[in-house]
Structure 1
Amino acid sequence: MTATHHPTPAAPAFDDAFRSQLQTLFRWRRDVRHFRTTPIPPATVAALFETASLAPSVGLCQPWRFVMVDSPQRRAAVRASFERCNGEALASQDPALAPAYARLKLAGFDAAPCQFAVFAECDPAQGHGLGRRTMPETTAYSAVMAVHTLWLAARALGIGLGWVSILEPAIMHEILDVPRDWQFIGYFCLGYPQTEDDTPELERFGWAERQPTAAATIRR
């Protein structure tokens, strides 16, 4: 294997103003469920996927697979899967939590102009298996990194992303006609938000509260 040598560019200087803006971007990234129907220009969507592909991946394998869902019939089938799974989730809730769960809006199918699924190819040829032998799940982690990268890039453009996970993975393979050995990561609704808020909707509705970082930090 012959190594490819690239000239080393000068590293950019990220000043305090940039870091402050970046922190603001992190705080304003929200899981959006309420969308306007305004279309997103195709060139903007393409640029977001290009940015997502800058995400880190194990062994540089780039295992993410973006499946655009434009067909009304396929979208309807995805929605039907969600409604089945959501109904089962509601029935399994503690009776004390069931009314609150029933009030939650957990998908933005109706208005989001752009919808897509993300899968991870579990054993891609690219990357030659580097870093995956003992932890093959890192391909899925890499795909999630791509989603998060797209999420931040979208937020910077005033575009919202909503992650729908209340779905049947096996059914999603059938609906979207993709290889069975791809791992389903999630279904995503992309569009311009109806409203803006820097507090998660689940927190505003009293479902859960964000915990301090110290609660998840362990020293050994």
Structure 2
Amino acid sequence: MKFNKKDLKTLTKIIASRRDVRGNNFINKEISSKKLKIILKSALNAPSVGYSQPWKFIIIDKNKKDEIFKHFTDSFEKSKKDFIDKPLYNKLKLEGIKESNINIAVYYKKSNSKVLGQTFMKRTGEYSVVCAILNMWLTARALNIGMGWVSILKPKKIDKILDVNRDKYKFIAYLCLGYTKEFYNEPELKKLKWNKKKSLKDSFLK
């Protein structure tokens, strides 16, 4: 299969339009099971070390969602001490756990045997799961569905809430998906001047 300039232009536009969506932008509209399946199946096409495909997903029910939101709230309060010099941090909306339609926890399934490509770089399995997450993010955007990655969470606490065996699985991400009021024309933290966008030149190791 070959692609053309139009395909490249569309892909480039989707990548550039991907956003980390927060709770102040989700709307009350359900994602159909068909579209959720499309998003999840896109993860299966991600590259994985040794073709290990080590990703596992959990769709979060309402009760668990409430528990995780409470944990996030506690964690966010504790995290404020790390950003005392940035008053803006206290005003940021950094999750959409309750506002989003679907929450998904993503795990890395640890292998009991040797995996091709992991001999010296043990964490490549976890990186493979992150590649799957990016596939989901871009596919969601192509479907005009927002996605946010909530990272102010303690893995041990999430494992406990979801009753996941830490010896077999490692928590990688907590994702919030839903339709949005809008997709910002640039990343929210860039709009708020939290940080500047790097140029290609600045991205090289000197």
- 1:187 equivalent to 2:174? Answer yes
Count of matched residue pairs: 203
**Structure 2 CA distance for aligned equivalents of residues 123 and 208 of structure 1:** 38
Q: Corresponding residue for 1:214?
A: 201
1:199, 1:93 → 2: CA distance? 23
Distance 2:197 2:75 in 1: 26
Within 1, Cα distance between the matches of 2:196 and 2:171? 28
Match of 1:43 in 2: 34
Which of 64, 81, 84 is equivalent to 2:74?
84
Are 1:68 and 2:55 matched, yes or no? Answer: no
Secondary structure in 1 aligned to 2:119? coil
Q: 2 CA distance for matches of 1:124 and 1:13?
A: 38
* Partner residue, 1:149: 135
Structure 1: state its 5+ residue gaps: 1-11
- Match of 2:188, as an amino acid? E
Describe the superposition over 1:139-160 as per-residue Cα deviations: whole angstroms up to 9, x where unpaired.
1100000000010111001011
The residue number in structure 1 matching 2:123 is 137
Matching of residue 201 in structure 1 with residue 188 in structure 2: yes
Amino acid of the structure 1 residue aligned with 2:103: Q
Report the structure number with the largest CA radius of gyration. 1
Q: Report the 3-state secondary structure (helix = DSSP H, G, I; strand = E; otherwise coil) of the residue aligned with 2:16.
A: helix
Alpha-carbon distance, 1:202 to partner: 0.5
**Partner amino acid for 1:208?**
N
Give the distance between the partners of 1:129 and 1:30, measured in 2 at CA: 33
Identity of aligned residues (%): 34
Deviations 1:13-69 (A, max 9, x none): 211111111111111001011211100001211121111111000001011111110
Could you list the structure 1 runs, at least 4 aligned residues long, displaced by more than 4 angstroms after superposition: none
Letter in 2 for 1:88: K
Are 1:116 and 2:104 counterparts?
Answer: yes
Please say if 1:27 is aligned against 2:16: yes
Matched to 2:83, the amino acid is Q
Aligned residue type for 1:136: K
Give RMSD over aligned pairs. Answer: 1.3
Q: Return the TM-score normalized by structure 1.
A: 0.88
Deviation at 1:124, TM superposition (A): 5.6
- Asked if 1:104 corresponds to 2:92, the answer is yes
Structure 1 position 198, deviation (Å): 2.8
Alignment of 1:151-166 (within 5 A): 151-166=137-152
Q: Is the 8 A contact 1:118 1:187 kept in 2?
A: yes
Match of 1:7 in 2: none
Shift of 1:136: 1.2
Shift of 1:102: 0.8
- Matched to 2:68, the amino acid is V
Q: Please tell me the residue identity of whatever aligns with 1:112.
A: S
User: Measured at CA, do residues 163 and 124 of structure 1 come closer, stay the same or move farther in structure 2, by a change above 3 Å?
Assistant: farther
SS of residue in 2 equivalent to 1:185: strand
Q: What corresponds to 1:8 in structure 2?
A: none
SS in 1 for 2:177: strand
Deviations 1:74-98 (A, max 9, x none): 111111111111111112323x30x
2-side partners of 1:108 and 1:38: how far apart?
14
Please identify, of 164-173 and 75-84, the stretch whose mean Cα deviation from structure 2 is larger.
75-84
Distance in 2 between the 1:109 and 1:213 partners?
A: 34
- Residue of structure 2 in register with 1:3 after alignment: none
Task: Output the amino acid matched with 2:28.
Answer: T
